[in-house]
Amino acid sequence: MTQSSPATKKTLSLRRAVILAQAIGFLVILLVISLGVYVFIFNSEQTLWQGRQSDFAQTAARLVNDNLRQSAAFLDIINDLDDDEHFSDIVSNIASKYPTIQEVIVLDADANILAISSTDTPVLSNLFTIQQSNWFLSAKAGDSYLGNLQFSAQNKPYIILARPFERTGGAIAIRLDMEILNEVVRGIRFGDTGNAYLADSDGQILAHNDFSIVERNTSIAGRLELEQALNQEGINFSAYFNFLGQEVIGSSLKIEGTTWFVFTEVEQEEAYATSGNALVFLGGGLILLFVMVILFTIGFLQRLVFSRIEKLQTAANQVTAGDLSVQVPIKRMDEIGLLTSAFNTMTTALNKNNEDLRHARDEAIDAKEIAQENNRLKSEFLSTMSHELRTPLNAIEGFTGIMLGGMGIELDMKARGMVERISTNSKRLVDLVNDFLDLSRIESGRMDLVDVPFSPSDLVEKWRRQLSVLADQKDLLFTVTVDPSLPARLLGDDDALSKIGQNLLGNAFKFTEQGRVTLDLKRDGDNWQIIVSDTGIGIPSHAHDYIFDEFRQVDGSSTRKYGGTGLGLAIVQKLVRLMGGTIRLESELGEGSTFIVTLPLKSAETQTAGVLTL
């Protein structure tokens, strides 16, 4: 028999805990790896895009800056020129070498034009009053001037650059074509959404891929990207919603020598596309893995637990159906293995018990049959014996009667005494044989009770007459009462009733030495009662049951004192039961006894009334 020891249970629980911990650990590691991979991809992608943006921003800044430096170099050259009668021509000549210089003007301190050259409609010399223009006043005061970006009537961007003309205390000014800005912006395209634009420190957009934005005088004043650009040195990266409402990652860089900034931006959706895909892939992979783990677990449980429990259930059903020979194979000795083992042990024990029970039942049936047969044989024997004994006893009875009657033989006193004793004993023997005969008849079911109408008063009167001699012998008071509520005539077997009454009264007189014996017939609802009471020796309570058994007496020694066989009460009880009634005893040792026989009341009055009217 297999028992689950505490040690085994502990091992199993530990193993389960280890498996669980491993599974959780495995999932956590996978999660961490996935997170790591995602962060790595995200960072790489960010670095990549920042690198590209930085490159473009710096290139753009350099291009613009180069352009301005070239122009500054031109101004230096003009400043260094000697006074010459061909000064103006020389200036025009040099200016023509610079494709971005659209107009140049050299003035003395009084704003008199010393040289002038223009590739299109002049702007500088057309100023209403040169002397009040900012660029002239700055240069004349000895400062360099870089004007704001402006747009020509043809929407071409330009700026005015001026420098003091040292020789005269006047100014050299040039109008620079800033189409380069648009070219720079147009040249910066990266990815699908990556682009650049330029804005000045006031937020005014100077160049944009979409020129209409420039045309509309769009401003990014107050926006986060501009604030960051203004407040930080060098290149600056961040994620924000740009002025067009797009979610972007962007960079800003100041163009050296100007108050302008180049902004490069790419939409986040594109920038982080790979990270997004990776996230979807890793998330999907994890979910897939999770589902696989669950499926695997279910399969595993199915194999490890459910199918085995199903087998146990099937076996339990077989047991319920009565097949106790069933045994379930044990695959492994875990909890279910232990349960299966206990189940097998239980069915084995049940099977054995069942076998034992069947065996015992068979034996009991055999014993019962034997007992019944024995009882039948006993009754048969008693019946036969009684019949056989009665014949010679009747002969003895007859002959002793003749002898005592003085017929045929003269007996002297001594011989007469002997014959009288023979007669008495043969009478007792006849009584005994009759008792045997009654008992055997009742037991073998051959005692047929016949209901006839009788008068209860007459019946008890008959008993009184028969037994009052005993009362007289012992000088006992003998009273008989009949309940007036009893019907005058009842139905019943008067022979059997007499056997009951005479037996009980006989015992009462036998076991009473002084006092009285009473016989009462009473009505008790639908029943009637024969109550025999005495003031005799009484019966101890332990004997109340067994005195109704055959050949049982309260005390064997009393047999010698009172005589008797121990059959009377057995016959009484069997007859009472045969009549559908009960017998009850109330008695204490030394306090007298009362036997109460209760029988169903069957009135014969209606029948007799019918008879009487005839």
Shortest distance, position 420 Cβ to ligand ADP, whole Å: 23
Q: Are residues 240 and 225 in contact, defined by beta-carbon separation less than 8 angstroms?
A: yes
- The token pair at 9 is 């249970």
Q: Which is nearer to ligand ADP, 223 or 516 (CB)?
A: 516
Shortest distance, position 480 Cβ to ligand ADP, whole Å: 16
Cα dihedral 216→221→224→230 (10° resolution): 120
Cα dihedral 273→278→279→280 (10° resolution): 90
Shortest distance, position 514 Cβ to ligand ADP, whole Å: 13
Q: Which of 69, 122, 68, 96 is nearest to 88 (CA)?
A: 96
Q: Which is nearer to ligand ADP, 140 or 574 (CB)?
A: 574
Output the DSSP codes for 430-494.
Answer: HHHHHHHHHHHHHHTT------EEE-HHHHHHHHHHHHHHHHHHHT-EEEEEE-TTS-SSEEE-H
Q: Which is nearer to ligand ADP, 476 or 508 (CB)?
A: 508
Q: Which is nearer to ligand ADP, 88 or 565 (CB)?
A: 565
Q: Which is nearer to ligand ADP, 147 or 566 (CB)?
A: 566
Q: Which is nearer to ligand ADP, 49 or 511 (CB)?
A: 511
Q: Which is nearer to ligand ADP, 149 or 572 (CB)?
A: 572
In angstroms, the CA 62 to CA 102 distance is 21
Shortest distance, position 385 Cβ to ligand ADP, whole Å: 19
Q: Which is nearer to ligand ADP, 41 or 539 (CB)?
A: 539
Q: Which is nearer to ligand ADP, 97 or 542 (CB)?
A: 542
Residue with tokens 């009052």: 468
Q: Which is nearer to ligand ADP, 50 or 565 (CB)?
A: 565
Q: Which is nearer to ligand ADP, 391 or 473 (CB)?
A: 473
**Sign of the CA dihedral with 333 first, then 338, 342, and 343 last:** negative
- The token pair at 61 is 């800044």
Q: Which of 532, 530, 544 is nearest to 597 (CA)?
A: 530
Shortest distance, position 421 Cβ to ligand ADP, whole Å: 20
Shortest distance, position 424 Cβ to ligand ADP, whole Å: 16
Shortest distance, position 491 Cβ to ligand ADP, whole Å: 27
Q: Which is nearer to ligand ADP, 235 or 537 (CB)?
A: 537
Residues that bind ligand ADP (CB under 6 A): 503, 507-508, 511, 534, 536-537, 539, 547, 553-554, 558, 564-570, 593
Q: Which is nearer to ligand ADP, 189 or 584 (CB)?
A: 584
Shortest distance, position 467 Cβ to ligand ADP, whole Å: 13
Give alpha helix (H) positions in 536-604: 556-562, 568-578
Shortest distance, position 442 Cβ to ligand ADP, whole Å: 14
Q: Which of 482, 495, 483 is nearest to 454 (CA)?
A: 495
3-state secondary structure of 317: helix
Compute φ and ψ for 473, nearest 5 degrees: -55, -40
Q: Which is nearer to ligand ADP, 212 or 557 (CB)?
A: 557
Contacts of 416 (CB under 8 A, 6+ apart): 404
Shortest distance, position 541 Cβ to ligand ADP, whole Å: 13
Shortest distance, position 564 Cβ to ligand ADP, whole Å: 3
What 8-state DSSP symbol labels residue 204? Answer: B
Q: Are residues 583 and 573 in contact, defined by beta-carbon separation less than 8 angstroms?
A: yes
In angstroms, the CA 398 to CA 423 distance is 9
In angstroms, the CA 186 to CA 286 distance is 44
Shortest distance, position 446 Cβ to ligand ADP, whole Å: 21
Shortest distance, position 532 Cβ to ligand ADP, whole Å: 8
> How far is CA 207 from each of CA 55, 185, 457, rounded to the nearest angstrom?
18, 7, 146
Compute φ and ψ for 168, nearest 5 degrees: -115, -5
Give kind and range of the element (H or E) at residue 416. helix 413-443
In angstroms, the CA 115 to CA 97 distance is 16
Compute φ and ψ for 100, nearest 5 degrees: -85, -10
Cβ neighbour number for residue 163 with a 10 Å cutoff: 23
Output the DSSP codes for 223-261.
Answer: -HHHHHHHH-SS-EEEEEE-TTS-EEEEEEEEPTTSSEE
Q: Which is nearer to ligand ADP, 106 or 504 (CB)?
A: 504
Shortest distance, position 417 Cβ to ligand ADP, whole Å: 26
Shortest distance, position 461 Cβ to ligand ADP, whole Å: 22
Contacts of 275 (CB under 8 A, 6+ apart): 38, 41, 42, 45
